[in-house]
Chain A
Amino acid sequence: MFNKRLNFWYLSSIFVSLFVAIPILTVFSSFFSSTSDYMIVLKATFLKDYVINSALILIGVLFFTFIFGVLSAYFVSFYNFWGVSFFKWALILSFAVPAYIYAYSLTAFFENYGSLFSLLTAVFGEGNYNKSIPKFDGMFGAIISMSFSLFGYVYVLTRASFYHQSNNLIEVSKNLGLSAKESFFKIILPSARPAIVAGLSLVAMECLSDFGTVSFFNVSTLTTGIYNSWLAFDDLNTANQLSFFLLIIILSLLLIENYSRGGAKYHHNSNTGFRKIPKIDLKGKKSLFAIIFCSIIFFLSFIFPLSQMIYWTVKFPKYIQDTNIIALNFNTLLLVILASSILITLAFLINFGNRISKSKILDNLSVFSISGYAIPGIILAVAFISFFSWLSDVLTNTFNFMSIKQIFIGSIFGLVAAYFIRFYSLAFNGIKSSYLKINQSIDDSSYLLGYSKFKTFRKIHFPNLRNSIYLISILITIEIIKELPITLILRPFNFETFATKAYGYASQDLLEAAALPALFLIFWSALLIFFTSKHILSEK
């Protein structure tokens, strides 16, 4: 029985699950190892600050993303006003601007002699404006940057929930005597609550994982603590123990998100009997308010950082020559092609194995293999290094094996492997959910009509999954383009992507040089988001 079970599908599933679980296992095992001196010092001094700062940023970002996300979703879902169909998808362009890039724009605009200063000088003539220009830096800057960059999660999930609510529900509530306002508060909003909570949990996860923004604004949080323990104090153990704290918080958020999403499924049971809610035409002041609100959010979340980056790229053309933009494009493309082809091939293989072997064990096993997405990039990278250093030492000491550090640390191979861990759940779940849409009896029919498993894959599965493969590749591409901490830590020497180049310039206080790579980053991401907007808005 055991031999029979231990076939190719089981082995590959176990291997992938274990590989993806490396960071989590490393971090959790560090919990049991001895505490270093640095950790003792840290506990006495900064640890409290790290926690308080992380918490304050989290509260601020949740507050703003809630307001921005829910209100904009409410306007575009229930009302007709000028530009509503534009705003509907334009608001998701904010996904193209990572928080750290937003932070650069914010600083660039408001700093002394920055863009706002130039603007005021151009309009009102020379003057001492620096004093009266507000400064968005430190913690407040981080909160603003993250809020505009992350509110999209709340917007997208809340809007999808509003969109998928059936008008039948509202008509029934009206029929039972509730006014329009009562229907909204008693039916529409409560049934969107799981979606809002799910959106906010994602925001919270991203916010706590953020490294680029807080490090730029010099705010000490748990993520910068992890980075410093590793880089400045060369103390991987402490880094892992800090990761453990953070991971516990994030995993509980993940549980909340999962739980809420479970509830979010109950919007409508089937397509039959589902009717879209008719939109109300807004007129006069109300219409103006909706237009202004959506415009401001769109402008601040996307146009503002974009135009700031364009402005600087044009203003400081010398950096165009300094930055080898072709190499950056090529490097990003290389990573995208390698990572997404490996991700999709393996995700496909494992899903196909699970499907044809119809094994519950494999299904359960695959749950473990999707943990990567919840782990902040910085933790993943540090844990990845710890694990392979440890493994290499073990292999060298016990088996006299050659060192494998160079293979995994500071190499393209290692970087792609880390991306694999990080984005495997995206690929696996994407393919799985499309696979679930293919009824099992369709496979059965194909077998019954004489087609082998492989032929069924070729003639039935692949054509049906082709679209979701494109989609998943695009989503992975967007993520890889924006990814900063993993690339920063694991890349080969002198290997740059848009993200690391922008970060590198910004941390040398050369914000104007960071504009060009940042601009390319926004451009490519926005373009890809545009292509997938229908899916992101879950109208498909």
Chain B
Amino acid sequence: MSINFLEINNATFVASKKNKVLDFNLTIKNEGEIICLLGPSGIGKTTILRSIAGLQKIPKGKIFLKGKTLSSESIHIEPEKRNVALSFQDNSLFPHYTILDNINFGAKRNKIATYNFNIEELIKVLHLEGLEEKYPHQISAGEAQRVSLARSLMSKPDLLLLDEPFSNVDESLKVELQQNIKKILKEKKITTIIVTHDSYEAFYMADYCGILLSQTMKQFDTPYNIYHYPNSIEVVNFLNRGILVDAKVLDDNSVEHKCLGVIKGNFVKKYKKGTAVKLLVQPEDLEHDDKSNLKLEIIDRKFRGTNFIYTLKTKNKDLIPVFVHSHHIHQHEVEEKFGVKTPIYIDHLVCF
């Protein structure tokens, strides 16, 4: 039996008296996987990273890295002996060293690493050219975050932990950086856990996502499954990419909504005929059709560049979001009627 790369069993993480994460389990099977932990602020995501790094002790549970116990109720390996790098959200650069010295600070640490970095290349990839001789107080928050990331990478850790790595980075640079970093992590096979509250970031970066809600890990799955097969109402509400409407199960592949009519599709979970359920309707589930008889009132329109999101109100006052491509020939104003193509087909029917 091969050992898992990282294993966390029944761990409790204590951020403060109020904020705890209980019975936390996480398994990273293979080296080089990227995991994203998503959750609202203050839930204890950072505490999980700090505990894995060894900066905090865990009152309960066990953490193993490559089969070796890092933390348990009785064992606590000091952070300097774990070879786990954590890149902090806030500025943690050494103020008396130049940017170059900061990046090099941990470079000598891991002499048996299977991979290596060329510092010039790393500087280029992270867009840090020209900052080498500057001091931390002379650079911006976004730049500091990238330096911190470079410093963590240079220490060639067994496990890399990133706490909101792009929170201070300009929007224009974010996408490119995410691509570059993902490429590096995958090429060098660096196992990484990223904490973020941005679901798009998580969906792009991660092989697996974990959703942390009300003191526990609610769901752990691939990004696709998290989005399309959320396993609880809390996860739906947290992701905020759709709404739940009241419906009734008609048969093995359809439900009925009072206003939208019959909706066909494949149930994720089987329900008895006649069961009252809450059906998840996501923005891409409904299609626009001017000729349709099903007309709903527009109460809001958001322009998102590539698309519009119309919010439609049904007779029983459900507010349903609908995507429309922004090159769509004509636009509809608020208070106008909006045609929805019938019959409605939703590939996977997620009900609760």
Contacts and interface: CB of A to CB of B under 8 A. Distances in A.
A446 B88 contact: no
B253 interface: no
Nearest to B102: A445
Contacts, number: 67
Given A464-B95, A464-B96, A448 B84 contact: yes
Interface in A459-487: 460, 463-464
A129 B222 CA distance: 101
A1 interface: no
B78 interface: yes
Contact of B79 (A439, A448, A460): A448
B109 interface: yes
A389 to B, nearest CB: 48
Given A439-B91, A460-B94, A464-B95, A449 B55 contact: no
Task: Determine chain B's interface SS by DSSP, over half rule.
Answer: loop
A449 B155 CA distance: 6
A447 interface: yes
Contacts of A444: 50, 53, 55, 79, 86, 88, 92
A441 B79 contact: no
Contacts of B96: 460, 463-464
Nearest to B108: A450
Given A444-B55, A444-B79, A463-B96, A449 B88 contact: no
B109 A441 contact: no
B221 interface: no
A442 interface: yes
Could you say which of A438, A448, A450, A452 has the most chain B C-beta atoms within 10 Å of its C-beta? A448
A448 B92 CA distance: 12
B92 A445 contact: yes
A449 B92 contact: no
Interface in A408-457: 438-439, 441-442, 444-452
Nearest to B105: A449
Interface string B19-55: 0000000000000000000000000000000100111
A447 B80 CA distance: 5
A299 B85 CA distance: 60
A451 B82 CA distance: 11
B90 interface: yes
A450 B95 contact: no
Query: Which size bracket describes the interface of B in this complex?
Result: 20 to 34
A445 B157 CA distance: 13
B92 A439 contact: yes
B219 interface: no
Given A441-B88, A463-B96, A447 B55 contact: yes
Contacts of B95: 438, 442, 464
A191 B85 CA distance: 45
A447 B78 contact: yes
B83 A450 contact: yes
Contact of B53 (A442, A448, A463): A448
Contacts of B152: 448-449
A314 B85 CA distance: 69
Nearest to A438: B95
B151 A445 contact: yes
Contacts of B84: 448
A451 B90 contact: no
B168 to A, nearest CB: 14
B93 interface: yes
A445 B79 CA distance: 9
A439 B144 CA distance: 14
Nearest to B89: A441
Interface centre among A441, A445, A446, A464 (most CB of B within 10 A): A445
Instruction: Find the residue from B79, B84, B148 having the highest chain A CB count within 10 A.
Output: B79
Contacts of A452: 80
A448 to B, nearest CB: 5
Interface in A469-528: none
Residue with the highest number of chain A CB atoms closer than 10 Å, among B80, B106, B109: B80
Contacts of A463: 96
B78 A449 contact: no
Interface in B50-72: 50, 53-55
A463 B92 CA distance: 16
Interface in B137-177: 148, 151-152, 155
A451 B78 CA distance: 10
A380 B50 CA distance: 46
Nearest to A466: B96
B246 to A, nearest CB: 48
B87 to A, nearest CB: 8
Contacts of B88: 441, 444-445
Contacts of A449: 80, 85, 105-106, 109, 151-152, 155
A301 B348 CA distance: 86
Contacts of A460: 94, 96
A441 B92 contact: yes
B109 A450 contact: yes
Contacts of A464: 95-96
Nearest to B148: A445
A425 to B, nearest CB: 26
A274 B94 CA distance: 25
Contacts of B50: 444
B85 A448 contact: yes
Contacts of A447: 54-55, 78-80
A115 to B, nearest CB: 52
A442 B151 CA distance: 12
A466 to B, nearest CB: 9
B109 A446 contact: no
A117 B88 CA distance: 72
B92 A451 contact: no
Contact of B94 (A446, A448, A450): A446
A445 B151 CA distance: 9
22 contacts: A439-B92, A441-B88, A441-B91, A444-B50, A444-B55, A444-B92, A445-B94, A445-B148, A445-B151, A446-B94, A447-B78, A447-B79, A448-B106, A449-B80, A449-B106, A449-B109, A449-B152, A450-B81, A450-B109, A451-B106, A460-B94, A460-B96
Interface of B: 50, 53-55, 78-86, 88, 90-96, 105-106, 109-110, 148, 151-152, 155
Closest 4 CB pairs of A and B: A449-B106, A441-B92, A450-B109, A447-B79
Given A445-B86, A460-B96, 9 more contacts: A439-B90, A445-B93, A445-B151, A446-B105, A447-B79, A447-B80, A449-B105, A450-B155, A460-B94
